[in-house]
Each structure stands twice: as C-alpha cells, then as structure tokens.
C-alpha cells in the first residue's frame, strides 16, 4: 500500500464490531462525535439528522419497545432471533438511533435527505474510531414500526436509518477482508466504462 498520512491510515483501519464493552463515549466527547455527523454533505441545508441516545438503565425498556415492534413487523421471527435482539438492545453499552427528519414536499429529493443521514452515520462511525471507540450499524423491519419511531420523536413522515451499537471494542477489531479497489474504480476515457467487480 502506498504511503499515506495518519488520518487516511485511520480511515482505512476502521471496521465494524458488535463486540463492545463499557465505556461508551459520554458528555462532551459524545457531543463532539455527533458533531462530526453534522459535517455530512446536506443539500439545501435540510439538517435531517436526529440522534437519540439510549444508554444505562433505559436500555432494558427500549429493548422491550424493540420486541413489541418485532411482534408487529416480524411476527414470524424465530424465538432465538427475538431473544438475541432483546439481549443486544439491553446489553450494548450505548445505542444511537439514526433518525431521519424528512421533508417530502420540498425541492430536495427524499433520497438526498436520506443520503445525508447515511453520510452522517458514517462520520459517526469514523469519529468513534478516531476516539478509540467502536460500533456497528444495524437495521431490521422492526425499525419501521410506527410506535417505535414515535418514541424516538419521529412522527410520519420521519423515519429511521437504523441504529448504531456503540462502545469500546473488547479486543482489536480484525475486520473482514476488503475488496480490491481496482475492481471498483475506472478511469473514463470517452467510452463506457466497465468494472472488474462486474466481470464474468
């Protein structure tokens, strides 16, 4: 790999993990990490990001909200899946709900507002990594449940981009094998490009 600056090295070394222990970021450090999200590109200054932090004793009750949402949205989910989800939502050091405050009738397409929330989430994951924390972005059909959304301050048409599980990595994050960038980039030379990723 070519030589690069420490900040790029750090971007290249981030990997998701749900193997998380105490502590999560708190106070000003948490505010700084979430401030990184507010640097996401945001067409039309829609400011669609709405973060709800769930931690401490409130996790248990929130896990119950998740379970009830699952009962409505995924009634056929196996008991083991429900138990795992309850366990994760009640035991992760911190959960950050990724609210999307969507303005459907304005000039800015909804997908652009959603992409701004996604870009913000990525910045949060990177900011966590920069400060020695770890996380993973998770979703599921339960996150479309209206009652769950309302407890997170998201009334119709506002929605969720999912949740970040946040904490301190229990051990150094290995990360999975990454794709080869050469398969995912092309240099345009006046003819339609093709990608190695799509060959064969």
DSSP string computed for 162-199: EEEEEEEESS----PPPPPGGGS-----SS----GGG-
Beta strands at 49-55 and 134-138: parallel, antiparallel or unpaired: unpaired
**Number of residues binding to ligand FMN, judged by CB under 6 A:** 10
- Site for ligand FMN (CB under 6 A): which residue of 37, 96, 136, 148? 136
Q: Residue 107 Cβ, how far from ligand FMN at the closest point, in Å? A: 25
Stretch binding ligand FMN (CB under 6 A), from 33-41, 47-55, 79-87, 134-142: 134-142
* Nearest residue (CB) to ligand FMN, 35 versus 139: 139
Q: Does 119 bind ligand FMN (CB under 6 A)?
A: no
52 belongs to the binding site for ligand FMN (CB under 6 A):
no
Considering the complex, state which of residue 59 and residue 129 has its C-beta at the smaller distance from ligand FMN: 129
Nearer Cβ to ligand FMN (18/191): 18
Give yes or no for residue 132 binding ligand FMN (CB under 6 A).
Answer: no
Burial code (b: 16+ CB inside 10 Å, e: under 16) for 10-27 equals eeeebbbbeebeeebbee
* Sign of the CA dihedral running 85, 90, 17, 117: positive
Residue 72 · residue 82 · CB < 8 Å: no
- CB contact set of 178 (below 8 Å; sequence gap of 6+): none
Rg (CA), the chain: 19
H or E segment to which residue 11 belongs: helix 6-13
Question: Are residues 67 and 86 in contact, defined by beta-carbon separation less than 8 angstroms?
Answer: yes
Q: Does 73 bind ligand FMN (CB under 6 A)?
A: no
Select the span of 67-75, 101-109, 133-141, 144-152 touching ligand FMN (CB under 6 A): 133-141
Half-sphere exposure of 111 (CA within 13 A, CB side): 0
Kindly tell me which of 25 and 143 has the beta carbon lying closer to ligand FMN.
143
Q: Which residue is nearest to ligand FMN (CB)?
A: 16
Residue window 137-176: x/- pattern of binding to ligand FMN, with contact defined by CB under 6 A: xxxx---------------------x------------xx
Positions in the binding site for ligand FMN (CB under 6 A): 15-16, 136-140, 162, 175-176
């Amino acid at each position: 790999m070519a030589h690069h600056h420490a900040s790029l090295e750090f971007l290249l070394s981030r990997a998701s993990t749900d193997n998380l222990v105490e502590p999560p970021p708190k106070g000003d450090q948490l505010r700084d990490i979430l401030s990184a999200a507010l640097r996401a590109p945001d067409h039309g200054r829609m400011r669609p990001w709405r973060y709800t932090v769930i931690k401490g004793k409130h996790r248990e009750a929130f896990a119950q909200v998740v379970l009830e949402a699952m009962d409505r949205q995924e009634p056929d989910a196996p008991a083991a899946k429900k138990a795992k989800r309850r366990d994760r939502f009640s035991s992760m050091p911190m959960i950050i709900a990724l609210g999307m405050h969507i303005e459907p009738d304005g000039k800015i397409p909804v997908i652009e507002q959603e992409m701004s929330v996604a870009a913000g989430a990525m910045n949060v994951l990177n900011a966590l990594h920069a400060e020695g924390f770890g996380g993973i972005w998770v979703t599921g059909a339960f996150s479309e449940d209206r009652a769950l959304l309302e407890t997170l301050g998201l009334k119709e048409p506002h929605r969720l981009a999912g949740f970040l599980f946040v904490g301190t990595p229990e051990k150094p994050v290995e990360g999975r094998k990454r794709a080869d960038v050469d398969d995912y980039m092309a240099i345009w030379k006046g003819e339609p490009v093709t990608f190695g990723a799509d060959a064969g």
